[in-house]
Amino acid sequence: MENTITYRRYEPLADLKRDIHYYWYMESGEREEQAYPDLLIPDGYPEIIFVLEGAYCKRPMADESQLTIVNSSSVIGIQSESLLVKRLGKVKLFGIKFRPMGFYRFFGQKAVKTVGSTLVLNEFKVAYLLELELGLRNMDAQDKAVSLLDRTLCAHVSNAGHSKKEAIVQECIRNILDAKGNMDLQELAKQAEKGKRQIQRYFKECIGISPKKFSNLVRFKSVYKKNVLSDCSLGHFFDHGYFDQSHFIKDFRANLGVTPSRTSSPKFRAQNTIAKRSMGNDAFLLSKGGNRR
């Protein structure tokens, strides 16, 4: 019988909110039997996952042959494919979900080079993250672990303001998020009062992907959250900013690995347990002490 999974999201300190979206914690029971893997979709946000106990395996949704076992902490850059993840017995994980520009502000070009890849924490070569990992292993309560994350990251966050380039990219990201991904390059450039090529170059230099790709990830997340995770049928493609059905299906399949019609099956929906919690409304972020803000 499958045990209840503990999954919680925590808000960072106010000084970190510009750069960090949230922290998350997951723990499973000793005898958990996971009937279905968890589906994780690309969302445009990089993260660091600290594996404090146990291991899990993952593979692309569209390719059963690429199975990877993960038993060590990892740095995960912005991803573009959906993954199926299955816990291998008891696990205990802590994660830091960075905002795209926040990841760059913390790690610079190291962050940009992680796009589309996963690095073992040791390979990232940031000493304080290894010290943080050791500290988290020694914590006996989630509140203490969140406090350690806050203290460590506050000590290393840049207090300098955005450079002109960073400010432009940040503004563009905010506009894309506000439009739920339905914003093309021409409109971005117009609002930023910059040329299209300049916007493209700034995106590649700061977050490692094009504004078009980032918009696509944001739009897909919005489609998935609004329709699939709410157990509703997918709305008309016009509702999501597409002008023809074939383009909608092509984009959907490129991001998820299956067509929209496949998402209505009970088996597919059973894979969304963690996605519903991880992509939930930010009103359900917890502050230290377990209180909702």
Q: What is the pLDDT of residues 114-170, one digit of tens each?
A: 999 999 999 999 999 999 999 999 998 899 999 999 999 999 987 766 789 999 999
Q: Give the per-residue SS3 of 170-183.
A: HHHHHHHHHCCCCC
DSSP the chain: -PPPPEEEEEPPPGGGTTTEEEEEEEE--TT---SSPEEE---S--EEEEEEE--EEEEETT-TT--EEE-S-EEE----S-EEEEE-SS-EEEEEEE-HHHHHHHHTHHHHTTTT-EEEHHHH--HHHHHHHHHHHT-SSHHHHHHHHHHHHHHHS--SPPPHHHHHHHHHHHHHHHTTT---HHHHHHHHTS-HHHHHHHHHHHTSS-HHHHHHHHHHHHHIIIIITTTPPP--GGGGT-SSHHHHHHHHHHHHSS-GGGGGSHHHHGGGHHHHHHTS-GGGPBPTTS-B-
As annotated, the residues of the chain forming the CATH 2.60.120.10 domain(s) are 6-159+273-284
What pLDDT is recorded for position 231? Answer: 56
What pLDDT is recorded for position 292? Answer: 41
Mean pLDDT of all residues belonging to the chain: 87
Better pLDDT: 104 or 277 = 104
Other CB atoms within 10 A of residue 253 CB: 14
What pLDDT is recorded for position 106? Answer: 95
Other CB atoms within 10 A of residue 163 CB: 11
As annotated, the residues of the chain forming the CATH 1.10.10.60 domain(s) are 164-271
Q: Which residues does 45 contact at the CB level (< 8 Å), separation at least 6?
A: 21, 78, 97, 98, 99, 100
| Average pLDDT of span 62-91 | 92
The whole-model pTM stands at 0.89
Interval 233-281: pLDDT, tens = 555 556 667 777 788 888 888 888 888 888 888 888 888 877 777 776 5
Interval 185-241: pLDDT, tens = 999 999 999 999 999 999 999 999 999 999 999 998 888 887 776 655 555 556 667
The CATH code belonging to domain 6-159+273-284 is 2.60.120.10
Query: What topology is assigned to 164-271 in CATH?
Result: Arc Repressor Mutant, subunit A (1.10.10)
What pLDDT is recorded for position 284? Answer: 44
* 12 has a pLDDT exceeding 60: yes
